[in-house]
Amino acid sequence: MGRYIIKRIIGLIPLLLAVSFLIFIFIHLIPGDPARLMAGKDATNDEVEALRTYLGLDKPILEQYFIYMKELFQGDLGHSLRSNAPVTQLFGERFLPSLQLSILSIGWAMLIGILLGVISAVFRGRWPDYFGTITAISGISVPNFWLGLVMIQLFAVQFNIFPAGGIETWKGYVLPSFALGAGIMAMITRFTRSSLVQTLQEDFIRTARSRGLGERAIIFGHALKKSMITVLTIAGLQFGFLLGGSIVVETVFSFPGMGRLLIDSIQFRDYPVVQSLLLIFSLEFILVNLIVDILYGFFNPKIRYN
Amino acid sequence: MTGLLEVNNLKTAFISDDKTTQVVRGVSFAVNKGEIVGIVGESGCGKSVTSLSIMRLLKGTSGTIQDGEVRFHDQNLLDLSEQKMRKIRGNSMSMIFQDPMTSLNPVLKIGRQLMQGIMLHLKYPKEKARKYAVSMLESVGIPRAESIMNEYPHQLSGGMNQRVMIAMAMSCNPELLIADEPTTALDVTIQAQILELMKELREKQNTTILMITHDLGVVSEVCDRVIVMYAGRVVEEGKTAEVFENPKHPYTEGLIKSMPKIGQKQSRLYAIPGQVPDPANMPKGCKFAARCPHVMDICTEKEPDLIKDEEGRKHRCWLYQGEYEGGEKVDVKSSTGN
Ligand SMILES: Nc1ncnc2c1ncn2[C@@H]1O[C@H](COP(=O)(O)OP(=O)(O)OP(=O)(O)O)[C@@H](O)[C@H]1O
Ligand SMILES: [Mg+2]
């Protein structure tokens, strides 16, 4: 098991190098001139060129990449072109709120989703199942920004229970995490249900019944563990997306997270910030996948040994 | 000998979109304490559904028991609440299934699966249950039982998994073990070992075994008595030796003729001509008539009753109905099934 994880992590290195290269190239292919944007409208051509040299943007792109990588390995992500603050400092401020929001969103989505999914599967074709189905379909089809706006209107403006934006207190996390998690919860409900319904048809469930086990032991002790394999895939994938910060939901709630940092930086052609953000998102996504794979091994013993 | 299990006029059907198909159509038989009784018949004749009905394990399928009685220790299992039934399942009556690879949970360790039943029925605490589970594995001839407790079914061979299934089924000392084709999925040498093991269990613990199979070889090997089923009905029943020596029903005769015989060169294996009737579309009269070499006019008109002759043999065939006019009709009602 430990060896497997180490092997997987070593396998990530070439992948990360390739990803960093692609991100770098793509960013520099985006039209728009950051030197001119920074220098301002009134700057002369000479001033712009001087700034370009200062920023190192006049060097060949490959050389720029190597410089960037060298600094990256020294833990230096560069400085924001916009605020001149170190990129690491910007991340320090934005990373934690986004991470907390993601964990909160996926957490409640999984908890409720699995619960509703189990109830739907157990009461298949009866009213709790229909209730679960309706909840799930609404969750999937309602766009999260709209849900966000409605909740702001209702819980912030109308009843003033939660703030409309900002994260001065924990209350600031409630509405955004609800808006972000609703769709995921719905998806997890559906996958839990269908996977559990399928598992309950399997031979070993009949064996468990023939041993005299009750329904609860059969569902929680026998069927759910097998069904978790599917559910985990979905949850892992969604968590990977969440970690990237939701541009839309963070904007709606004026949430100081990575998503909003990304959109602001793109508008300003703030290369160092954008490329570092993308790199971090990729890294997060890859790590989440690795964790999901490791958890697979826990739920599916056949995987663990090869 | 006393009847441990008595099945009377059992009828089980599958219901799909307002269509009801009866696949067990008035089955009656009895199993005495300490006996090994075989049920044989071609694929689809209702052997598995009969055994699942006895244990009331049709949950999760569209099957329902429509009528009949399953008397076990003089209580009708079909009247029991699900909760009471659970106390019987895996405890005084347990079951093993055809495919050991799919019948064990692939994501749970063998030990855990074994201990569940032991802790539930024998109320052993965890450590004691564990020790007992290991001793059960050893008693069914599993080497390195201690380490197998921590392994998963996919790490074991089919034969080993079937031994695990048997250990699980035997762990609470059941009075009745129902084995639904326990050797069909295994290769021949392993088959022989598993059958040997089951005979041993009977010797040592006096376990009554209902052995379901489509293999007459298995029947002749281990069964004291045999019940022959055809199209959801019992068509013949008797002591194994007598049935093999002198089959009454032409279907039984056909089955025996189609057995491959060792040491005897046969140019071609005999096969009963024709096909099993579709359970959704049963012919009138005897269900075997269309394939029967002795078919008479009456056979396609009216279904014969299962009668018991003076030798104690039971059969359902017009060839003998007149002859045993005074014979005891076993289940007169069954000829009214749909
Ligand atoms: N879950 C189910 N849903 C619908 N029909 C079923 C189901 N299980 C069995 N049947 C039908 O019931 C009939 C009897 O099936 P059963 O499994 O008892 O046969 P069997 O004698 O055990 O055959 P085999 O030797 O193949 O195991 C068949 O016609 C089959 O199609
Ligand atoms: Mg069967």
A174 C-alpha vs ligand 1 centroid, how far in Å? 53
Rg of chain A taking only CA atoms, in angstroms: 24
Q: Which token pair is B190?
A: 């392993």
Q: Which of A25-34, A231-240, B65-74, B311-320 has the lowest mean pLDDT?
A: A25-34
Is there an atom of ligand 1 within 6 Å of B157 CB? no
CB-based contacts of B143, cutoff 8 Å, min separation 6 = none
Is there an atom of ligand 1 within 6 Å of B229 CB? no
Q: Which of B275-284, B296-305, B329-338 has the lowest mean pLDDT?
A: B329-338
Q: What is the pLDDT of residue B332?
A: 45
Q: What is the pLDDT of residue A207?
A: 95
* Selected residue with higher pLDDT from B125 and A245: B125
Q: What Cα–Cα distance (Å) separates residue A178 from each residue in A97, A99, A184, B220?
A: 15, 15, 10, 67
Q: Which token pair is A128?
A: 């709790």
Token pair 């009963």 in the structure block, residue: B272
Q: Distance (Å, rounded) from C-alpha A31 to C-alpha A82? A: 17
Q: Which of A62-71, A114-123, B255-264 has the lowest mean pLDDT?
A: B255-264
Model confidence at B333, in pLDDT bands (50, 70, 90)? Answer: very low
Report all structural domains of chain B as residue ranges with CATH numbers, in order of start: 3-92+174-260+270-336 (3.40.50.300)
Q: What is the pLDDT of residue A206?
A: 95
- Among B102, B163, B159, B103, residue whose Cα is nearest residue B137: B163
Q: List chain B residues with CB under 8 Å of A199.
A: none
Q: Do A211 and B120 touch (CB under 8 A)?
A: yes
Q: What is the pLDDT of residue B28?
A: 95
Q: What is the pLDDT of residue A306?
A: 47
Q: Distance (Å, rounded) from C-alpha A66 to C-alpha A46? A: 27
State the greatest distance between any 2 C-alpha atoms of chain A, in Å, as a whole number: 86
Q: Distance (Å, rounded) from C-alpha B7 to C-alpha B305? A: 17
Per-residue pLDDT tens over the stretch A25-39: 888 777 777 777 777
Q: What is the mean pLDDT of chain A?
A: 86
Model confidence at B59, in pLDDT bands (50, 70, 90)? Answer: confident
| Chain B stretch 26-65, residues whose beta carbon is closer than 8 A to a beta carbon of chain A | 52, 55, 57, 59-60
The 10 Å CB-count burial string (b at 16+, else e) for A166-198 is: ebeeeebbbbbbbbbbbbbbbbbbbbbbebbbe
Q: Is the pLDDT of residue B330 over 90?
A: no
Q: What is the pLDDT of residue A245?
A: 67
- Among B184, B211, B171, B167, residue whose Cα is nearest residue B50: B211
| Pick from A203, A209, A212: CB nearest B120 | A212
Q: Do A211 and B152 touch (CB under 8 A)?
A: no
Residue ranges of chain A that CATH labels 1.10.3720.10:
92-299
Which strands sit side by side in the sheet containing B63-72, from one edge to the other? B19-32, B3-16, B63-72, B75-76
Cβ atoms of B153 and B110 within 8 Å: the answer is yes
Q: What is the pLDDT of residue B338?
A: 40
Per-residue pLDDT tens over the stretch B224-270: 999 999 999 999 999 999 999 999 999 999 999 888 776 666 667 78
What percentage of chain B exceeds 70 in pLDDT? 93
**Which helix (H) or strand (E) element contains residue A224?**
helix A224-243
Cβ atoms of A132 and A114 within 8 Å: the answer is no
CB-based contacts of B318, cutoff 8 Å, min separation 6 = B286, B296, B298, B299, B304
Q: What is the pLDDT of residue A33?
A: 76
Q: Do B60 and A299 touch (CB under 8 A)?
A: no
Q: For the whole model, what pTM was predicted?
A: 0.82
Q: Distance (Å, rounded) from C-alpha A167 to C-alpha A163? A: 8
> Sign (positive/negative) of CA torsion A278, A284, A285, A290?
positive
Per-residue pLDDT tens over the stretch A250-276: 888 888 888 888 888 888 878 788 888
- What is A92-299's CATH topology? MetI-like fold (1.10.3720)
Is there an atom of ligand 1 within 6 Å of B117 CB? no
Q: Is the pLDDT of residue A305 over 70?
A: no
From the CA of B53, the nearest ligand is: 1
Token pair 């541009």 in the structure block, residue: A247
B22 C-alpha vs ligand 2 centroid, how far in Å? 16
Model confidence at B334, in pLDDT bands (50, 70, 90)? Answer: very low
Which strands sit side by side in the sheet containing B328-329, from one edge to the other? B93-96, B176-180, B208-212, B36-40, B225-230, B233-239, B314-315, B307-308, B328-329
B86 interfacial to chain A (CB closer than 8 Å) = yes
DSSP of B200-252: HHHHHH--EEEEE-S-HHHHHHH-SEEEEEETTEEEEEEEHHHHHHS--SHHH
Give chain B's end-to-end CA distance (angstroms, integer). 35
Q: What is the pLDDT of residue A141?
A: 84
Q: Do B117 and A302 touch (CB under 8 A)?
A: no
Q: Distance (Å, rounded) from C-alpha B44 to C-alpha B23? A: 8
Q: What is the pLDDT of residue B147?
A: 95
Q: Distance (Å, rounded) from C-alpha B276 to C-alpha B315? A: 19
Per-residue pLDDT tens over the stretch A73-93: 888 888 888 888 888 888 888
DSSP of A23-74: HHHHHHHSSS-HHHHHH-TT--HHHHHHHHHHHTTTS-HHHHHHHHHHHHHT
| Pick from A206, A211, A302: CB nearest B106 | A302
Q: Which token pair is B161?
A: 């998994």
Q: Considering only alpha carbons, which residue of chain B is nearest residue A214?
A: B86
CA dihedral A71, A75, A81, A86 (to 10 degrees): -140
Q: Do A211 and B168 touch (CB under 8 A)?
A: yes
Is there an atom of ligand 1 within 6 Å of B46 CB? yes
* Selected residue with higher pLDDT from A171 and B171: B171
**Which helix (H) or strand (E) element contains residue A259?**
helix A258-267
Q: List chain A residues with CB under 8 Å of B88.
A: 212
| Pick from B59, B88, B104: CB nearest A207 | B104
Span B69-85, average pLDDT? 94
- Three-state SS for A111? helix
Q: Is the pLDDT of residue B186 over 80?
A: yes
Atom 24 of ligand 1: nearest residue by CA position: B43
Q: Do B102 and A206 touch (CB under 8 A)?
A: no
Q: What is the pLDDT of residue A170?
A: 82
CB-based contacts of A145, cutoff 8 Å, min separation 6 = A179, A248, A249, A251, A252
Is there an atom of ligand 1 within 6 Å of B61 CB? yes
B197 interfacial to chain A (CB closer than 8 Å) = no
Q: Is the pLDDT of residue B144 over 80?
A: yes
Q: Which token pair is A35?
A: 């030197």
Per-residue pLDDT tens over the stretch B8-50: 999 999 998 888 999 999 999 999 999 999 999 999 999 999 9
Span B296-305, average pLDDT? 90
The 10 Å CB-count burial string (b at 16+, else e) for B16-42 is: eeeeebbbbbbbbbbbeebbbbbbbbb
Give the highest mean pLDDT range of A57-66, A84-93, A235-244, B161-170.
B161-170
Token pair 């429509």 in the structure block, residue: B66
Span B272-294, average pLDDT? 89
Q: Distance (Å, rounded) from C-alpha B245 to C-alpha B256? A: 9
Which amino acid is residue A32, in one-letter code? G
Give the highest mean pLDDT range of A13-17, A195-199, B268-272.
A195-199
Model confidence at B121, in pLDDT bands (50, 70, 90)? Answer: very high
Q: Distance (Å, rounded) from C-alpha B31 to C-alpha B323? A: 27
Q: What Cα–Cα distance (Å) separates residue B32 from each residue in A3, B10, B36, B37, B316?
A: 57, 18, 9, 9, 22
State the greatest distance between any 2 C-alpha atoms of chain B, in Å, as a whole number: 68
